[in-house]
A and B are shown apart, each in its own frame.
Chain A
Amino acid sequence: MAEKEVLLKVEDLYKHFPIHKGLFSGSHEKVHAVDGISFEIYKGETLGLVGESGCGKSTTGRTILQLYRPTSGSVFFEGEDLAKLKGEALRKKRRYVQMIFQDPYASLNPRMTVGQIIGEPMEIHNTYKGAEQLKRVEELLELVGLNPAFINRYPHEFSGGQRQRIGVARALALQPKLIVCDEPISALDVSIQAQVVNLLEDLQEELGLTYLFIAHDLSMVRHISDRVAVMYLGVIVELADRNELYATPIHPYTKALLSAVPFPDPFIEETRKRIILEGDVPSPVNPPSGCRFRTRCQYAKEICAEEKPEFREVLPGHFAACHFSDELK
């Protein structure tokens, strides 16, 4: 990444979900799933997005694709705000932003053959038809490491790892520029995870793809990402170059999160000191005032309850949202 060309720019993105308690109750409570996040993804890079369940990372991915329309904020893709696009104009843009879903057992239609599944996007966007489409599907199958002869089989005839490959092929069908990978490997066994990750890496190199890689597995995110963003309760608390983030995290949450990951090495584990966070993640319906993390933070002071910490560049290219960033860096 010598020259950094911004492919996607997310600005002050909010997504709130209203809670419907009953037909006539008219509740005004909402889940603050994504609560004001901004970041950029450069062309050709992989941005990792990590966080625990319920932190809003998948909602972020879906809101970028406009599968959820944002409550407010902008998603600029190649300079155009997807959040303002509608109908046909949005559909045309979506071609270039595709998604790989988490659960390969739920994201493929069981009544469609592999050929139909991968061919459907081409059908919708009128790119390839008939014999040409067939040829293209076969090419894609080969590209993701499946036998093109499987074109007429149904999803249930494949294993989890193979299904995820079909999902990858479908995402590639329209030659996208950005792929949002929403926990693409967490439903797979360890030895199969490596197969899919290697495939994603090969495809990126071959086709010049850009990835937003959403996951909760911190070691895998470190492996595949160039830069990593950490989310907590709807906000990004830290974003930095991958090596820097893992070696010298600034935000207390990132520190705790990294120290919680077990190492596959008994010699290191023997002497490792853990930061054990107390308690659970607060509810996103009534998130804590000021800093979201203050209820579990060992450094929390009065200011953390009163003021929302600014997400700012503490070191070059290293952003964090903490009042004590300068002391903790």
Chain B
Amino acid sequence: MSDLLQVKGLETQFRTREGSVHAVNGVSFNLKEGETLGIVGESGCGKTVSMMSLLGLIPMPPGKVVAGEALFEGKDLLKLSNEELRHIRGAKISVVFQDPMTSFNPVLTIGKQTAEPYQIHRNAGKEEAYERAVKYLEMVGIPNAKERLNDYPHQFSGGMRQRVMIAMGLICEPQILIADEPTTALDVTIQAQIIELMKRLRDELGMAIIWITHDLGIIAGLAHRVNVMYGGYIVETAPVKSLYKEPQHPYTLGLLGSLPRMDEMSYRRLVSIDGLPPTLLEKPTYCPFEPRCKYAVEKCRHSNPQLSQVEGEDHYAACWVNPKTGKEY
């Protein structure tokens, strides 16, 4: 399948009182049509900022995209004007945000908010747009969708609101849906509902999904491919099975080791990653994970490794050391 989105060398910085924070330091990846890409990392690793940079959704100032390009339909998203971006956001690329409690306008009805993207992007009349809103609200499993159009967000539960948000994101049938931790604020049984829903919609509508999360559990059953981010870099990228079976970057190994598993019958002490994530006040000139890495060698302190092919086809990691042997490649 062909590439839908090509991101190359994306760099984003934020100006703060302490200096520039280098949130994203050269992120490159491709997204294929219909592919589900998982982006995993801890808070502050740049996973959300890199995606929001693509859509011009980071506040500027203090934020600034300083380098990179993002090709979508032959155009560089980073060079488009706000006006041009508006025709893409919500129409061809839409976003489902993390917190369904705060992402709605509390004084507008659900019907108006769900139909709005269709009215704007497809130039549809109110009646047509509302009809379509009902169709999509039904698709995401809102009971009595037609009667609920005139309800306000506070009349919906968290799980239901997240469904409405997904309906809103899908109403223009986008090619890419960016889901920014859409289930983090939800309970586990509701999370299971939303994940099943997204899988079904993906298969029905055939869109590509970028799923941002800190939970390696969620994307194991969902993504085709996973990017692991740390310190503003992609440190490992691989097809989902390859990543979980043969994790190559010490950070990925640490993340997987720090997760308890429900199928373990005997006790295993969790592998914790000592230390703290970097503050990113300077662009790292050496491996950003080095201070916390138990495999680190002299070279890691001087030079920042780039993504290179490690294990099998299509599996890349940015590390000087092969964690299996403990030696440099």
Please list the residues of chain A having a beta carbon within 8 angstroms of any beta carbon in chain B: 52-53, 159, 161, 189-195, 197-198, 201, 216, 218-220, 222-223, 243, 246, 256-270, 272, 274, 276-277, 280-281
Q: Which of B196, B217, B241 is the one whose CB lies under 8 Å from A267? A: B241
B193 contacts A277, C-beta separation under 8 Å: yes
**Would A53 and B220 count as touching, CB distance under 8 A?**
no
When chains A and B are docked, how far (Å) is the Cα of A266 from the Cα of B38?
Answer: 13
**Bound-state Cα–Cα, A322 to B217, Å:** 30
Contact string, B247-274, partner A, CB cutoff 8 A, digits 1/0? 0000000111111111101000111111
Residues of B within 8 A of A263 (CB): 217, 220-221, 261-263
Is B191 on the interface with A (CB-CB < 8 A)?
Answer: yes
Report whether over half of chain A's contact residues are helix, strand or loop; otherwise say mixed: helix
Would B189 and A195 count as touching, CB distance under 8 A?
Answer: no
**With contact pairs A190-B214, A270-B221 given, residues A264 and B188 touching in the complex (Cβ less than 8 Å):** no
Cα–Cα distance between A190 and B40 once the two chains are bound (Å): 11
Q: How far is the CB of A174 from chain B (nearest CB, A)?
A: 27
Contacts A190-B259, A280-B190 hold; do A261 and B272 have CB atoms under 8 A apart? no
Q: How far is the CA of A53 from the CA of B244 in the complex (A)?
A: 30
Q: What are 25 of the A-B contact pairs (CB < 8 Å)?
A: A52-B187, A52-B189, A190-B259, A194-B257, A195-B273, A198-B272, A216-B188, A218-B262, A219-B259, A243-B265, A259-B192, A261-B217, A262-B215, A262-B220, A263-B263, A264-B216, A265-B261, A266-B220, A268-B220, A269-B221, A269-B222, A270-B221, A272-B221, A276-B189, A280-B190
Q: Nearest residue in B to A195 (C-beta to C-beta)?
A: B272
Residues from chain A with a CB closer than 8 A to the CB of B187 are 52-53, 216, 281
Kindly state the separation between the CA atoms of A24 and B215 in the bound complex, as whole angstroms. 47
Q: How far is the CA of A107 from the CA of B293 in the complex (A)?
A: 31
Nearest CB of chain B from residue A273's CB, rounded to whole Å: 11
Given contacts A195-B274, A266-B220, 15 further A-B contacts (CB under 8 A): A52-B187, A194-B272, A198-B270, A223-B270, A243-B265, A257-B189, A260-B191, A262-B191, A262-B195, A262-B221, A264-B216, A266-B221, A266-B240, A266-B244, A280-B159
Q: Which residues of A have CB within 8 Å of B1?
A: none
Q: Give the 9 A-B residue pairs with the shortest CB-CB distance, closest first.
A: A269-B221, A223-B260, A194-B258, A260-B192, A194-B272, A262-B217, A52-B187, A191-B273, A194-B270
Contacts of B214 in A (CB 8 A): 189-190
A90 to B320, CA, bound (A): 59
Of B159, B189, B244, the residue contacting A264 (CB under 8 A) is B244
Count A-B pairs with CB separation below 8 Å.
Answer: 122
Given A262-B220, A263-B261, check contact A190 B42 (CB 8 Å).
Answer: yes
Q: How far is the CA of A265 from the CA of B217 in the complex (A)?
A: 7
Contact of A52 (CB < 8 Å), options: B188, B255, B269: B188
B161 CB, min distance to chain A CBs, angstroms: 11
Max count, chain B CB within 10 A of own CB: residue among A52, A220, A265: A265
A190: B residues at CB distance < 8 A: 42, 214-216, 255, 258-259
Q: Could you tell me the distance between the alpha carbons of A257 and B191 in the complex, rounded to whole angstroms?
A: 11
- Whether A222 lies near B218 (C-beta < 8 A) is no
Q: Which residues of B contact A270 (CB under 8 A)?
A: 221
A194 to B273, Cβ gap below 8 A?
A: yes
The answer to whether A265 touches B244 (Cβ under 8 A) is yes
Residues of A within 8 A of B160 (CB): 280
Q: With CB as the reference atom, state the residue of chain B lying closest to A159.
A: B276
How many angstroms from the CA of A34 to the CA of B305 in the assembled complex? 54
Whether the pair B262, A258 counts as a contact (CB closer than 8 A) is yes
A196 to B217, CA, bound (A): 20
Interface bits B25-51 vs A (CB < 8 Å: 1, else 0): 000000000000000001100000000
Nearest-Cβ distance from residue B220 to partner chain A, whole angstroms: 5
Q: How far is the CB of B243 from chain A (nearest CB, A)?
A: 8
Cβ–Cβ < 8 Å partners of A280 in chain B = 157, 159-160, 190
Chain A neighbourhood of B217, CB < 8 A: 219, 261-264
Q: Give the complex CA separation of A82 and B265 in angstroms.
A: 37
Q: Are B265 and A267 in contact (CB under 8 A)?
A: no
Q: Which residues from chain B contact A189 at a C-beta distance below 8 Å?
A: 42-43, 214, 277
| Closest CB in chain A relative to B192 CB, distance in Å | 4
Please name the residue on chain A nearest to B44 by beta carbon: A189
The interface residues of chain B lying within 8 Å CB-to-CB of A274 are: 192, 196
Picked from B42, B255, B260, B276, the residue with its CB within 8 Å of the CB of A222 is B260
CB-nearest residue of chain B to A158: B276
Question: How many angstroms between the C-alpha atoms of A276 and B199 in the bound complex?
Answer: 14
Give residues 260-302 of B contacting A (CB, 8 Å).
Answer: 260-263, 265, 269-274, 276-277
With a cutoff of 8 Å between Cβ atoms, the chain B residues found around residue A281 in the complex are 187
> A272 to B221, alpha carbons, bound, how many Å?
9
Complex: A277 Cα to B263 Cα, angstroms: 22
Report whether A193 and B244 are in contact in the complex, using a CB–CB cutoff of 8 Å. Answer: no
Is the beta-carbon distance between A191 and B255 smaller than 8 angstroms?
Answer: yes
- Name the A residues within 8 Å of B265 (CB-CB): 243
> Which of A159, A220, A264, A276 has a CB less than 8 Å from the CB of B196?
A276
